[in-house]
Structure 1
Amino acid sequence: MTATAAAYDGIADWYEHDFLRREPVPGHPRSHGPLLRALLGEGEGVCLEIGCGTGVHAATLRGLGRTPLGVDVSAGMLRHARGRLPVLHADAARLPLADGSVDAAVAVMVHTDMPDYAAVLREAARVLRPGGSFVHIGLHPCFFGAFADRTDPEAVVLRPGYLARHRTERTTGGDGVRARAGAFHRPLPELINTLVDAGLAVSRLAEDGGPTPAVLALAAEKAPGAAGPPAPRP
């Protein structure tokens, strides 16, 4: 069992029965519907949700005409998700899916949980059909992390540490997921470069939450005719 799986297995019931019922402020899972709809748009076919958790976004994907399929490493989270969408219990860095087998893929608030997000993006690109859409919605790397004290959302304090790639056991302030599951931090250039290296072309960017954004989102696509991502850099 990975550390991420263990962390989320331990908080799965709290996440489903407490956290999801909270007021959906920016960064809360139920606040991402508008971003997801705007960046993904309507379409058909299978949409893979990477790190689907308890499946809270399945209804939004269906509302866009998509057929959701979830994958997550946490059996505890999937126990709640199975009533919302079909799921795969697997590591997103090693997807049990064929090349070019899905029409779209989304990763919503999960990149900070993944020790090797670059590998996850390469897998997403592999299983996407050419021209397929990918949407990333995640904590804003410039304004959210152990270096960002968000105790007062109206006056976020940024301290040294943004440039250092690191994992924290908890973030400063709040009583949410990051306080329980920790987070991996990667500076913005690293995040964008992992998409480029995976063969995904970024087409749109968006931010959410204010006055200091809590969320960075983007839309990308796999180039038509692309066979898959290039080999990772040495």
Structure 2
Amino acid sequence: MDAAYDEIAGWYEREFLPRDTDDRLGIRRSIRGLLGRGSGACLEVGCGTGAYAGLVGELGWTPVGADLSAGMLRYARSRLPVVRADAGRLPFRDGVLPAVVSVMAHTDMPGYMGVLREIARVLRPGGVLVHVGVHPCFVGAFADWSGQEAVVIRPGYLDRHWTKASWTNEGLRDKVGASHWPLPGLLHGFLDAGLTLDRFGEGRAPVPMTLSVRARRATGS
């Protein structure tokens, strides 16, 4: 099975990831603040090259990764144990994982609402999911970040679609495409999966580029 990221895995590892060494998007800050310290296995769904495995390990968790792209997993294997798998059909039993993270991956998964249900299935009662993704209100084909003074929001925010349209040719959307959900639709996905919303965060100023959510599987489920 081919995955879109197979063709760009080398570029992603060598050129794209190093751009955020100062954590300007607040991704690492969000993981630290929302996941926090813990123990046991923490599955990263859509782990890519495993860039955040070290941070998850620093927090006391045992990082494990799942991704569809064999190209990305070639880099990830040196950073954490991995399995090649469709996020909508995770190879784990019901209720076995204390923690799951999804980091900058939900727009790569057109079936993310189903992925959330699958995450809820594999989480233990009381288990935590930390979702860190592009901010649905300010990042998408409808948002033009090319200006220095302001982000321009054009028509299209309410359209649920997959596209390669982008204001830049230096990002991911123009290469592999991206899906979009307006904010209510995304948050409803957590609730519809049976997850309880717990905490939130936003990254980058003055306009947030990332939205983070901590949710839990109900203890009685």
1:52 aligns with 2:50: no
Q: Shift of residue 32 of structure 1? A: 1.4
**1-side partners of 2:90 and 2:62: how far apart?**
18
**2-side partners of 1:42 and 1:163: how far apart?**
37
**2-side partners of 1:164 and 1:106: how far apart?**
27
- For 1:80, give the aligned amino acid: Y
1:38 aligns with 2:33: yes
2:10 aligned residue: 13
Of 138, 143, 147 in structure 2, the residue corresponding to residue 143 of structure 1 is 138
1:210 aligned residue: 205
The runs of 5 or more residues in structure 1 that have no matched partner are: 227-234
Q: Shift of residue 152 of structure 1? A: 2.2
The change in CA–CA distance for 1:71 and 1:23 in structure 2 (over 3 A counts) is: closer
1:182 aligns with 2:177: yes
1:196 aligned residue: 191
- For 2:18, give the aligned amino acid: R
Q: Deviation string for 1:1-21 (max 9, x for gaps)?
A: 36xx1x200100001111122
**2-side partners of 1:188 and 1:80: how far apart?**
32
Query: TM-score normalized by structure 2?
Result: 0.96
What SS is found at the alignment partner of 2:155? coil
1:66 aligns with 2:61: yes
Q: Percent sequence identity over matched residues? A: 55
1:154 aligned residue: 149
**2-side partners of 1:70 and 1:170: how far apart?**
29
What SS is found at the alignment partner of 1:33? helix
* Aligned positions of 1:52-131 closer than 5 A: 52-131=47-126
Q: Shift of residue 23 of structure 1? A: 4.2
Of 160, 165, 171 in structure 1, the residue corresponding to residue 160 of structure 2 is 165
**1-side partners of 2:171 and 2:9: how far apart?**
13
- For 2:15, give the aligned amino acid: D
User: Runs of at least 4 residues of structure 1 off by over 6 A?
Assistant: none
Is the 8 Å Cα contact of residues 145 and 152 (structure 2) preserved in structure 1? Answer: yes
Corresponding pairs, count: 220
1:230 aligned residue: none
**2-side partners of 1:171 and 1:194: how far apart?**
25
Give me the CA root mean square deviation.
Answer: 1.3
Is the 8 Å Cα contact of residues 171 and 183 (structure 1) preserved in structure 2? Answer: no
Query: TM-score normalized by structure 1?
Result: 0.90
Q: Shift of residue 174 of structure 1? A: 5.3
- For 1:11, give the aligned amino acid: I
What SS is found at the alignment partner of 1:14? helix
**2-side partners of 1:82 and 1:214: how far apart?**
29
Is the 8 Å Cα contact of residues 207 and 213 (structure 1) preserved in structure 2? Answer: yes
Q: Shift of residue 22 of structure 1? A: 2.1
